[in-house]
Amino acid sequence: MKKTIIFFFFFVISGYIYSQTYLISAQGTVNACMGDFFDSGGASGNYGNNENFVMTFNSSDVTNTHIKMTFNNFDVEPGDTLIVYDGSNASQPVLGKYNNNNMPPSFVDASIGNVSGDLTFRFKSNAANVSTGWFCSVICIIPCQEVNALLHPTLTIPHPNDSNYVDICIGNTITFAARGSGAAFPENGLSYTQDSTNCTYLWDFGDGQTATGQIVNHTYTQVRGYDVSLTVTDNHNCTNANALGARVRVSQSPFAEIHPLPDMCSSSDTSFITLGYNAQSVVVIAPIVSTQLASQRYDSVTFIPDGGSCTPSCYNTYVTFNSFIPGQTITSGSDILSVCMNIEHSFAGDLGFRIICPNGTSVVLDANDHSGSAFLGNAYEPDGSLCDPATNIAGTPWVYGWSQVYSQQGTLNNLDAGTSPIPACDTIAHTGYFTPDNPFSGLIGCPLNGTWNLEICDNWGQDNGYIFWWSLSLDPSLLPTGWSYQVPIDTVIWDGSFFDIINDSTIMVIPDSGGTFEYNVEVIDIFGCSYDTTLQLQVVQTPEVDLGSDTTLCNNNLNYVLDAGPASEYTWSTGGNIQTQPVTSTGIYFVTAENHNISNTLTCLDQDSVFIRVLAQPASADLGPDTCSTVPFPLDAENGGSVFQYNWSTGDTSQVITVSTSGTYSVTVAEEYGYNCEIIDSRVVTIIPEPEPTIGPDSTICSFNYFRMKVKDPDPANPLDNYPYSYLWTTDPVSNLNGQTARDVEFGCLTPGVTYNVQVAVTGCNTVTATRNIISQNCTLELYNIITPNGDGQNDKFKVKGLENFPGSNMKIYNRWGKKVFESNNYGEDDNTLWDGGKDADGVYYYVLTVNYGDSEGCVEEQNYNGTVTIIR
């Protein structure tokens, strides 16, 4: 896609960058990979008489080392000659001598054996007539070694046969493997290395699916034949010219119809099961047949980057035919109905198109004229790097085509200077095609089988685009009738019980008892595919009716039924006509059972009777769901009336009992025990008194202390521990107490100055709460520095005000020489723990007070206070 303004600027101001022109009359050696090569008359004049000029073109690209020259126009008088040499001078092999009697091909390029990669051109004219000469485009390419697409005979699974057919069963996966060495690259090493590691493999499976890789897997879902093609591209972007020629044949189950086997009694005659192609067989099979036609479409999106900035400048798109008659060729230009493409590209004049047949013969459809700004399709312009498809969004492609048979709108070289986008062609009504620059008759003699190539060359700067597909449409009369195949049955295997084999297609069944018997027949075709089907034979045995012994049952027992056993028809004394008969009342039950086949032509019967005594059955005995109660709780077994008996787990026999202790209570209700007419139910009753929780009065504590709280028992004679209460503590604001579930909890490590509302929810059958306010205060110490132990009761001892809030504190006192004269681990607990100076002399002493904040679970474990204290007596 072209940046139009930018292109115009460079064309006018710096045009030499993109339009370097070389006239053969300048002679010498040209180092370039892009430009226009003319005769001595240039783009608008004729060459002269008696000329003898030599010019050599050498690649300036270290990667694309070989010169390729594309002929856009050619007009040289028969008495004059342009000679092309495969090398750097006129002593090298001649590639061709061209004039109007021997026209050049659409391009010439340096051969792979040409180490220099150069092309040398020599032009000689006589003294007679002159003409317009030639116009060529110069590009540099990577030389190609031969590439062959070949199936690997052992890694392809199933292995292909000698005719390159791969035969599979429907649903099975084929592993396709391409040769990656040897015959795949017969010229390997001539100029560069080719092997499977530096090549790409594109498979077309013939069913619209593709895959990449040297070894790929594919599953076919329809029974038919498929032509498989493979495009191998080496690291020089060279591809195979041969067709893979592989075909896949798919088999499927041959079973067309399965006739049901007629039922038979266990004492009847034998039955025969047959398999065959005729409709009278029990198992009817049909031959597997398929026909396949050729495909003619390239259907892979290909990026066409800027020819002036990116290499290579020509891009190849291939379709492969392999279903024509071997040796069949193009005999007339009208054999080719059209060459169509689905493409978007800016500046159509920058492109050149050429159709190349399998033997290399080609026809230029549109010569690259380096002019014409009309777009092909709705090309997308604001792109990134011209060489990177990842930064170039594809526009909307339109369909264009060349034809000499259908209605045409003119040559592309004329249309590219007109309306943009160039009008698309209509492939349905067959109108609006391009007229090819050269007639299709130039392809006469081309083989139909093989790889056809639509080459697209962009050897001008500042544009790019995409081709989405292209197709080659030939005269339908050229197509062969297609290829077909049939898959015969190879082996038949029978399996089952009670049969004798008569032959491969018939068995005789002789069952010795009634029941359903399965007979499996497996067929294996010549592809090795196995298919089987199973037939069922119903052997109708005389029913064996056994209603059992006379018995006693319960009424309303819907789970108890009389069963006459398997049969086709039933006649009960109750009027019932199914296999089972529910028993609802006392009486004699009689049944006749019959077995017969579907057509009701085969019947076997048996009879039986039984006496049933029916007891009254309780309607229910629902004691209700498990419950929790604070008072004695009544349990009702229901079913009132003197006909029923009650047997409680407590030993009670009345319909209703009252329980006052927790436990599981069950009851059995029946008219008469011992006949499975009882109804049993149970219920868990939990008796828990209403809790009356108390957690103490409102209190004030030091913020760092912990203290214990416990829900107090309302009745010491019946402590709460005797009942399954649960507890949930909460505080506002939240503290470490929040969420605790023990009855006995610890509370502390609080924020000074905050009042905590403590609540405990005690849950038995119901939930009751108790609350308490705890005020957190900041407890501090006040130490004095003088004592007067003179016995007057005033300041006789070294006291620490507030130390009662810090039990377990340690006091050490040292004299001025560092000798410890006093220590107490419970300082301030009472007066006996206080220091009164003892026998120590007056003077200054040093103390170290280690304060224990609360107990071991307090917020702060301990803290040291240091200072002096003076004794004055």
Non-local CB neighbours of 678 within 8 Å, separated by 6+ positions: 618, 668, 669, 670
> What pLDDT sits at residue 10?
31
Residue-wise pLDDT for 560-586, tens only, equals 789 998 888 899 999 999 999 988 788
> CB under 8 Å to 448, separation ≥6 — which residues?
321, 324, 328, 329, 330, 474, 478
* pLDDT at 269 > cutoff 90: no
The CA distance from 412 to 421, in Å, is: 12
Q: What is the pLDDT of residue 458?
A: 83
pLDDT at residue 494 above 60? yes
Residue pLDDT, tens place only, 203-244: 999 777 899 999 999 999 888 788 898 999 998 878 886 778
Q: Tell me the domain boundaries of the chain.
A: 4-141, 165-252, 255-285+488-540, 297-481, 551-609, 627-687, 699-777, 782-871
Domain 165-252: CATH class, spelled out: mainly beta
Q: Could you tell me which of 243, 266, 80, 51 has the C-alpha nearest to residue 147?
A: 243
Give the tokens for residue 24.
């053969």
Give the predicted TM-score (pTM) of the model: 0.39
pLDDT band at 722 (very low <50, low <70, confident <90, very high): confident
Share of the chain above pLDDT 70, in %: 92
Q: What is d(CA 265, CA 246) in angstroms, rounded to the nearest whole number? A: 56
Q: Does 173 have pLDDT greater than 50?
A: yes
Q: Is the pLDDT confidence value at 403 over 50?
A: yes
> According to the model, what pLDDT value does residue 388 have?
79
Supply the pLDDT for residue 728. Answer: 94
- Does residue 624 carry a pLDDT above 70? yes
Q: 742-789: per-residue pLDDT in tens?
A: 999 988 888 888 999 999 999 988 899 999 999 998 888 888 899 999
Contact 752, 774 (CB under 8 A): no
Place of tokens 């007070």: 849
Mean pLDDT score, 184-198: 90
> Residue 60 — very low, low, confident or very high, per pLDDT cuts 50/70/90?
very high
457-493 pLDDT tens trace? 887 777 778 888 888 888 766 655 556 788 999 999 9
Burial 187-212 (b: 16+ CB within 10 A, else e): bbeebbebebeebebbbbbbbeeeee
**Which stretches within 198-283 are classed as H helix?**
none
* Amino acid residing at 756: Y
Residue 341 has pLDDT above 70, yes or no: yes
Contacts of 749 (CB under 8 A, 6+ apart): 703, 704, 706, 735, 736, 858, 859
| Topology given in CATH for the domain delimited by 782-871 | Immunoglobulin-like (2.60.40)
- Choose among 422, 276, 446: nearest CA to 344: 422
Nearest C-alpha neighbor of 377 from the set 347, 355, 407, 340: 347
Only one residue has tokens 């130039």, namely 442
Whether domain 627-687 has CATH 3.20.20.140: no
| pLDDT of residue 676 exceeding 80 | no
Q: Using 50, 70 and 90 to split pLDDT, how confident is the model at 5?
A: very low
Output the pLDDT for position 12: 33
Q: Is the pLDDT of residue 15 over 50?
A: no
Quick one: pLDDT band at residue 322, thresholds 50, 70, 90?
low
Phi and psi, residue 10, nearest 5°: -70, -30
Cβ contacts of 434 within 8 Å, gap of 6 or more: 365, 366, 400, 401, 402, 403, 408, 409, 410, 411, 412, 415, 425
SS3 722: helix
61 three-class SS: coil
pLDDT at 671 > cutoff 90: no
Instruction: Check whether 120 has a pLDDT greater than 50.
Output: yes
Domains 255-285+488-540 and 699-777 share a fold: yes
Mean pLDDT of the chain: 86
Q: Which of 181-185, 265-269, 430-434, 631-635 has the lowest mean pLDDT?
A: 265-269
CATH ID of 297-481, from 2.30.30, 2.60.40, 1.20.120, 2.60.120: 2.60.120
Res. 324 pLDDT band, cuts 50 70 90: low
* pLDDT, average across residues 706-711: 86
Which residues, 6+ apart, have CB-to-CB distance to 322 below 8 Å? Answer: 227, 229, 243, 244, 245, 294, 449, 450
pLDDT interval class at 9 (50, 70, 90): very low
- The better pLDDT of the pair 689, 621 is held by 689
**Higher pLDDT residue, 524 or 469?**
524
Domain spanning 699-777 has what CATH number?
Answer: 2.60.40.10
Q: Is the pLDDT of residue 19 over 70?
A: no
CATH fold label, 255-285+488-540? Immunoglobulin-like (2.60.40)
Choose between 306 and 344: higher pLDDT: 344
- Give the model's pLDDT for residue 259: 92
609 pLDDT exceeds 90?
yes
The superfamily in CATH containing domain 4-141 is: Spermadhesin, CUB domain (2.60.120.290)
